[in-house]
Structure 1
Amino acid sequence: MPALPSLISMMSQLIASPSISCSQAHWDQSNKGVIELLENWLSTLGFRCEIMPLPDQPNKFNLIATLGTGDGGLVLSGHTDTVPYDEGRWQSDPFKLNERDQKLYGLGSCDMKGFFAIVLDTVQQMALSNVQQPLIILATADEESSMSGARALVDAGKLKARYALIGEPTSLTPIHAHKGIMMERIQVTGQSGHSSNPDLGNNALDAMHDVMSELMLFRQQLKTQYRDASFVIDYPTMNFGCIHGGDNPNRICGRCEIEFDLRALPGMSNKALMGEIAQRLPSIEAKTGTKIQLNSLFPDVPSFYTSVESDIIKACETLTQRQASTVAFATEGSFLNQMGMETLILGPGSIDQAHQPNEFMALDQIQPMQTVIRGLIERFCLPLNDVKK
Structure 2
Amino acid sequence: MNTPRLLDMMGQLIALPSVSATSERWDMGNRKVIEQLANWLEPLGFKVRIMPLANPDKANLIATYGSGEGGLVLAGHTDTVPYDEAKWQSDPFTLSERDNRYYGLGSADMKGFFALVIEALKPMLEQNFKSPLIILATADEESSMDGARALVKADLSGARYAIVGEPTGLRPIRAHKGMMMEGITITGRSGHSSNPALGNNALEAMHEVMGALMTLRGQLQQQYHHPGFAVPGPSMNFGCIHGGDNPNRICGQCELHFDIRPVPGMEVAATRERLQQLLTPIAERRKINIGLRELMPGIEAYEQAANSELVQMVEQLTGLGAETVGFATEASFFQKLGMQTIVMGPGHIDQAHQPDEYLGADQITDGITLLQQLIAKVCLHQNKA
Per the normalisation by structure 1, the TM-score is 0.95
Gaps of 5+ in 2: none
User: Is this contact kept in 2: 1:171–1:348, CA < 8 A?
Assistant: yes
For residues 165 and 103 of structure 2, what CA distance do their matches in structure 1 show? 18
Q: Tell me the equivalent position of 2:69.
A: 71
The alpha carbon displacement at 1:283 in A equals: 1.6
For residues 263 and 382 of structure 2, what CA distance do their matches in structure 1 show? 39
For residues 55 and 293 of structure 2, what CA distance do their matches in structure 1 show? 22
Partner letter of residue 321 of structure 1? G
For residues 283 and 106 of structure 2, what CA distance do their matches in structure 1 show? 45
User: 1:9-64, CA deviations, whole angstroms, 9 ceiling, x for partnerless residues?
Assistant: 1001000000011111111111011011100111121111000001x221110000
Which is further off, 281-290 or 183-192? 281-290
Counterpart selection for 2:263 from 255, 260, 265: 265
Alignment partner of 1:355 is 2:339: no
Partner letter of residue 44 of structure 1? P
User: Is this contact kept in 2: 1:188–1:204, CA < 8 A?
Assistant: yes
Partner letter of residue 140 of structure 2? D
For residues 150 and 352 of structure 1, what CA distance do their matches in structure 2 show? 24
Indicate the SS of the match to 1:266. coil
Alignment partner of 1:31 is 2:36: no
Q: Tell me the equivalent position of 1:15.
A: 14
Q: Tell me the equivalent position of 1:115.
A: 113
Question: Number of paired residues?
Answer: 382
For residues 87 and 276 of structure 2, what CA distance do their matches in structure 1 show? 41
Structure 1 residues 157 and 243: alpha-carbon distance in aligned structure 2, compared to 1, 3 A threshold: farther
Partner letter of residue 303 of structure 1? A
User: Is this contact kept in 1: 2:85–2:92, CA < 8 A?
Assistant: no
User: Is this contact kept in 1: 2:76–2:165, CA < 8 A?
Assistant: yes
Identical positions, percent: 56
For residues 174 and 84 of structure 1, what CA distance do their matches in structure 2 show? 27
Indicate the SS of the match to 2:85. coil
Alignment of 1:88-167 (within 5 A): 88-154=86-152, 157-160=154-157, 161-167=159-165
Q: Tell me the equivalent position of 2:298.
A: 300
User: 1:102-150, CA deviations, whole angstroms, 9 ceiling, x for partnerless residues?
Assistant: 2111110100000001111111122444211100000001111111101
Counterpart selection for 2:81 from 83, 95, 105: 83
Indicate the SS of the match to 2:296. coil
Structure 1 residues 322 and 312: alpha-carbon distance in aligned structure 2, compared to 1, 3 A threshold: same
Indicate the SS of the match to 1:169. coil
Alignment of 1:140-219 (within 5 A): 140-154=138-152, 157-160=154-157, 161-219=159-217
Structure 1 residues 128 and 195: alpha-carbon distance in aligned structure 2, compared to 1, 3 A threshold: farther
Alignment partner of 1:256 is 2:254: yes
Indicate the SS of the match to 1:361. strand
Alignment partner of 1:229 is 2:227: yes
Indicate the SS of the match to 1:125. helix
Partner letter of residue 259 of structure 1? H
Partner letter of residue 30 of structure 1? G
Q: Flag as ranges the 4+ runs of structure 1 deviating above 4 A.
A: none
Q: Tell me the equivalent position of 1:276.
A: 274
User: 1:188-229, CA deviations, whole angstroms, 9 ceiling, x for partnerless residues?
Assistant: 010112223222211111100000000001111111222111
User: 1:318-364, CA deviations, whole angstroms, 9 ceiling, x for partnerless residues?
Assistant: 22111000111111101101111111000111111111111111111
Per the normalisation by structure 2, the TM-score is 0.96
User: Is this contact kept in 2: 1:128–1:382, CA < 8 A?
Assistant: no
For residues 34 and 351 of structure 1, what CA distance do their matches in structure 2 show? 22
Which is further off, 225-234 or 9-18? 225-234
Partner letter of residue 45 of structure 1? L
Which is further off, 72-81 or 93-102? 93-102
